[in-house]
Chains A and B, each alone.
Chain A
Amino acid sequence: MTPTRLPGLAVAAVVLIAAAALTVAYCLPLAATDTLCRYAPMAEAFASGDWSEAFHPRFAVGGTVVAGLFVFLPGFDGLTACTVSATLAWALGALVLFRLAGRIFDSRTALFALLLYCICPQPLVWALKGLREPFKMLGLLLMVDAVIRVKDRDAASFAEACAAVVFLCLFKCDAILLALILGVVYAVRDGFRLRTWALTAWGAVVLQPMCALVWHWTGYWLPAPHYVPLWQKLIGG
């Protein structure tokens, strides 16, 4: 396994494509219904401090918070904030995929993987529409990369796993289970050393804001309301 350094060319290419795509998105708004009617108004509500409007049981808090910050700090409208934040996640995902392909194969394959990611219409269109899928994709790529390099036992790989947990647990509810399973794979490859338990503790901390909101909405301390019916079925209450 030879870690591939990110050549400046790859970074420049991704930044250039993201900038060009954002320009296109500004001229030809592509927003999906979900963004227009949910995420964008929720981001604006978060920025204005109206938290009861900003959070909703159907959606994890991460997208609202990140897009809300883009509304609050640079002063974008909700739609632009969703598009910019999702495109940023898309661009970061491209770079992580590049590294991942470099670790598994070689730098030549990594460049082609980066190219494929950039030219595939779906992920970029999701980003330009301000959807949350690029965040989930970024989380999965980061976590798989962290699982693969866990034996390097360096601080960077642990930080990568921690970042992946945030993206997986706070952006899409259906990614929480994926994070759990990837956490088990990480633990097995790590041999249940201290870093595994530290990552578990970090995951538990990251889930708490969503648990608190779900408790407020439903009376159950669960990481997503989607699990409530299942909980009621299995445990009762």
Chain B
Amino acid sequence: MTAQAAIARARRDLTFSAWLKVLLLACAVIGVFVAPWVGLGSDGGVLVMVVVLGIWVALSIRSMRGSRLAAGSPSLIAAGQFEEAERQIETALRTFTIFRTVKLLSLHHLALLRHAQKRYHEAATLCRALLHQRLGAMSSINRQSRLILADALLEIGDLQGAYDAIAALYRQRLSLPEAMNLLQVELDYQARIGAWESMARNIATKVQMAELLPTPAAARAQAMLALAAQKTGQTDWAEFLRRRVELLMDVNQLTSARPILWDLWRQPAVQPPANSESAGQISRESPNT
């Protein structure tokens, strides 16, 4: 399913379910207040109410299926089962639901999937479409979509768009995982624009935050901070963080994803470890290999 098709489908279903809800509510009001006055009697009103209630319960039960499908896809994405996740999201998007949240959640999961698949243009399109919707109580979706959007735009090279998305997040209260994600995106953005001073500000706190990330993300964030420390002349921090990164992750793997980080190992005195294992092996000859 393309991003545009998913957006069109979701918009159509959202409009249809909104009109259906208005219609059912109108029927209920008419049934209770109007029916007795037009000769249908109280029994007629009750009958209309029961029919409306029945339709509502039936639609809710049908909508539960979509909710279940929507709930399952993030774990599939996290496990790397993209095809299965895509199938579930597509089914959830095609299933009619009376609940607005299910449709919006499915759209969000599709954006998450496209981001994980490195289809950044589609991820950005989906996030933008989602952010144009009235998200109301779903504020966490709003924040997560902005984070995905910022990262996708950085990958595409749209720095202005990424800045706007990051700036919007500063106006919201974030949970810890969201703040951790924002730290990664922000460091990436600042490294691209060469804002080394800003990156190196409050470096100790940022390093503590980076320590909470999963290993590859922790290594990348600390490498970015090491680079910022190097550029701002804080050599003790640069050396400390560079040595940590070497222990945590294969330097070649890290720098192939972010070539700018090669600068950390380009200094005359610093040689990158040959491979991941050598970084972890303990030398019997020298204490500081």
Do A and B actually bind? no
Q: Which residues of B contact A (CB under 8 A)?
A: none
Q: Which residues of A contact B (CB under 8 A)?
A: none
